A and B are shown apart, each in its own frame.
Chain A
Amino acid sequence: MEVLVCVKRVPMVGGRIVVTADGQDVDTRMSGFTVSPHEECAVEEAVRLVERFGGRVTVLTLGPPAAADQLRDMLALGASRAVLLESDGREWGPIATAGAIVDAMRGAASAPSAPAAPAPSAPAAPAPSAPAAPAASAPPAPAAPAASAPPAPGCPYDLLLFGNEAADTGDYQVGVRVAHALGLPCVTGIKNLEVADDGASARARREYRGTEEVFDIPLPAVVSVKEGINLPRYPSLPGRLRAKRATIEQQVPPWHPEGLRKEGLRVPAGESKRAEILGHGADAVPALVALLNEFGVLS
């Protein structure tokens, strides 16, 4: 089973978000970067499927050269192959992002596995001739991979996984746009995914306002998942070492404007209040009880 997982590099924000002086970006001088939480679960889901069916997990991101770090994190979790669509640091909208992903997939279909030079930021650059070595980095496959349905014409993957929404922009649409461009069915917000033994269909579930919704879909398909679909594993030491050495395939897609123009970012007003301190330790309990009574939650 060939699974593509698309991830996005986002700032790791802790207790508060600071905007840069020009108001255009989140100030990341003091923060690290990560992939959006839903996407880490998407990679875990993909790795589990490949452990069951055989095949490969390809992880793809569109971002600055430093996004290679996030691809290596995902390789360490068990992805086999990594593709970086390199941006120039500008923010890409969902239409342009989906277009670049589709173009990269079509390119991959016509000219498979042509590894480019590793990212400039890659800590341990392998020799330029080093192949991506997907088989070596894939977890051991079960005895006989189950048969899987042939991908749709023009689609080199059996399953395309996305996070339901990026942690930063929260646009909720790249996966849907990719599905439309490829003519694939698409389900979003999925918290449980069961792929049939023949690899030709899947049952996807999510909860919506207290009711469980069940979708039966043919594969290939686009599925966007939410955190909670699984509990991602910690990367193993061999996984980390393999990821460090892996070659990341690179392309530089063209940027497109798309009708929504960001003017600036700001922190909502009223964010900087300070709690009234009721007291310290168990001594504060009488004041706390009085407060709960005032809120009407003690009756």
Chain B
Amino acid sequence: MRVLCLIEADSGGVADVSLRALTFARSLADAQTAAGAVPVAGRESWLHEKAPSGVPNGATTPPGSGAGAAGEADGTDGAGEVIAVVFGGADAVPVGELSAYGVSDAYAIESPHLGGYAPQAWARALAGLAAELPAGAVVAAGTDHGGEVMAHVGAITGLPVVANCVSAGPAGAGTLRLVRQRWAGSLLEDAVLEASPALLTVAVDAVAPAEADAPVATTVQSYRPEFADADLVVRAAESAERSTGVSLATARVVVGGGRGVGGPDGFRVLEELAGLLGGVLGVSRVVTSEGWRPHKQQVGQTGTRISPELYLACGISGAIQHMAGCQSAKHIVAVNTDPDAPIIGHADYAVIGDLNQVIPALIAAIRARRAGA
């Protein structure tokens, strides 16, 4: 299958989330259609079913007409090919990394109209390229940018978008069998997608980045899309403000506080401990809903996702909504008065006790240890 993958860049080249998306795209591209698979009955009837009024129908969708023909026509058959899409000049394409991740072709999307991020314009370019190649699938990382751009691609083409996929493989012409996250990863859905191209975002924490067995020669080409005026109405201006200091998302140590902290004053001791460990404070949703701490410190499904070496969760019960934000932590240690709290079922280690006794004693012990060293 020919799979198109949206690349997000950062200062170091390809962003980690996009390396994960590339790994996912490669496994999808290389997966062979199950032997003897036949087009799934009903596919054609679905394709020609009228979409609800007000939503554009799948104008670019080729009619499914038998396994071979459909495969050739829509990029779902043949050898696996991963094609990267990078917004910016051809000279800025990170060829080395793309090559290592098995990308055969990279398209640099260049336009005098594009300065920075413009979700609808990016989607227009991606949808145009997917139709011209054609591609059997279009994949992006399940980030705010990736999810937003793919939603626009879905709206432009009238096709479904499957958010936060964990795995996907072909189950017949124009048909994928896939697993995706619900409830931010607390639940998995097994599903079948009948649409071409398949539009997917990849759950940010589900696929580990892995290079291809052998590097592939990557050909870089330019693609100049046509935009309608409406595509360019929404464009991001980056503010000069960059957050300084250790950020919650990237901190090596996070000290968490929840309802058990008891009130806005109780966080001072947790901040002191975080400072000692070179980390930052994170809190549960109840803490921000009560206004005890600002929302930007929330760890969880509706806050920040963290992936520290150590998450020390103090007075946190361990609701689904919270655990969704810290499940990527390497080690979770809980301090909780309740040995039956849900967090005990998610943590690696636990201290049963009142954080107001445990944490000051821990701070004292760390200070004593450092003084003695």
Nearest chain A CB to B367's CB is how many angstroms away?
11
- State A272–B239 Cα separation when bound (angstroms): 44
Question: Chain A interface secondary structure, helix, strand, loop or mixed?
Answer: mixed
Nearest chain B CB to A106's CB is how many angstroms away?
7
Contact, CB under 8 Å: B333 / A226: no
- State A100–B51 Cα separation when bound (angstroms): 11
Nearest chain B CB to A158's CB is how many angstroms away?
16
Contact status of A181 and B54, CB under 8 A, knowing A186-B120, A264-B189:
yes
Interface string of B192-228 (1 = CB under 8 A from A): 1111000001000000000000000000000000000
Contact, CB under 8 Å: A286 / B187: no
- State A115–B289 Cα separation when bound (angstroms): 34
Contact, CB under 8 Å: B333 / A288: yes
User: A135 in the interface, Cβ–Cβ < 8 Å?
Assistant: no
Nearest chain A CB to B91's CB is how many angstroms away?
23
Tell me the chain B residues, 259-285 only, with Cβ under 8 Å from chain A.
277-279, 285
- State A17–B334 Cα separation when bound (angstroms): 21
Contact, CB under 8 Å: B54 / A103: yes
Binds B, one of A53-61, A88-96, A120-128, A236-244: A88-96
Which chain A residue shows the least CB distance to B158? A95
Interface string of A262-288 (1 = CB under 8 A from B): 111111100111111111111011101
Binds A, one of B20-28, B66-74, B82-90, B141-149: B141-149
**Which of B51, B144, B163, B190 has the largest count of A CB atoms less than 10 A from its CB?**
B144
- State A203–B366 Cα separation when bound (angstroms): 47
- State A171–B164 Cα separation when bound (angstroms): 8
Which chain B residue shows the least CB distance to A253? B52
Contact, CB under 8 Å: B285 / A263: no
Number of chain B residues close to chain A: CB under 8 A: 109
- State A189–B285 Cα separation when bound (angstroms): 18
- State A187–B120 Cα separation when bound (angstroms): 10
Chain A residue numbers with a CB within 8 Å of B288 are: 227-228, 231
- State A180–B158 Cα separation when bound (angstroms): 10
User: A50 in the interface, Cβ–Cβ < 8 Å?
Assistant: no
**Which of B195, B243, B302 has the largest count of A CB atoms less than 10 A from its CB?**
B302
- State A170–B324 Cα separation when bound (angstroms): 13
User: A99 in the interface, Cβ–Cβ < 8 Å?
Assistant: yes
Binds B, one of A64-72, A139-147, A205-213: A205-213
Contact, CB under 8 Å: B144 / A227: no
Chain B residue numbers with a CB within 8 Å of A268 are: 185-188
Contact, CB under 8 Å: B253 / A227: no
Chain B residue numbers with a CB within 8 Å of A280 are: 351-353
Chain B residue numbers with a CB within 8 Å of A271 are: 345-346
Interface string of A227-264 (1 = CB under 8 A from B): 11001000000000000000000000110111111111
Interface string of A35-70 (1 = CB under 8 A from B): 001100000000000000000000000000000000
User: B96 in the interface, Cβ–Cβ < 8 Å?
Assistant: no
Chain B residue numbers with a CB within 8 Å of A213 are: 117, 236-239
Name the one of B55, B148, B303, B351 contacting A278, with C-beta atoms under 8 angstroms: B351
Which chain B residue shows the least CB distance to A172? B147
- State A189–B144 Cα separation when bound (angstroms): 7
Binds A, one of B31-39, B97-105, B107-115, B314-322: B314-322
- State A298–B247 Cα separation when bound (angstroms): 19
User: A194 in the interface, Cβ–Cβ < 8 Å?
Assistant: no
Contact, CB under 8 Å: B237 / A277: no
- State A261–B230 Cα separation when bound (angstroms): 32
Contact, CB under 8 Å: B187 / A266: yes
Interface string of A104-116 (1 = CB under 8 A from B): 0010000000000
User: A81 in the interface, Cβ–Cβ < 8 Å?
Assistant: no
User: A169 in the interface, Cβ–Cβ < 8 Å?
Assistant: yes
Contact status of A226 and B302, CB under 8 A, knowing A208-B144, A288-B333:
yes
Contact, CB under 8 Å: A168 / B241: no
Name the one of A215, A284, A288 contacting B234, with C-beta atoms under 8 angstroms: A215
Contact, CB under 8 Å: A99 / B54: yes
User: A151 in the interface, Cβ–Cβ < 8 Å?
Assistant: no
Name the one of B151, B236, B249, B331 contacting A172, with C-beta atoms under 8 angstroms: B151
A-B contact pairs, 28 of them (CB 8 A): A17-B183, A26-B187, A95-B55, A96-B52, A99-B54, A102-B52, A176-B155, A181-B56, A183-B230, A186-B119, A186-B234, A187-B119, A214-B239, A227-B302, A260-B193, A260-B195, A262-B189, A263-B190, A266-B187, A275-B347, A277-B339, A281-B354, A282-B361, A284-B353, A285-B358, A289-B365, A292-B277, A297-B252
* Interface contacts beyond A173-B151, A278-B333: sample of 12 additional A-B pairs, CB < 8 Å, sorted by A: A180-B55, A183-B230, A188-B147, A217-B233, A218-B233, A254-B52, A256-B51, A275-B346, A277-B351, A278-B351, A282-B357, A284-B352
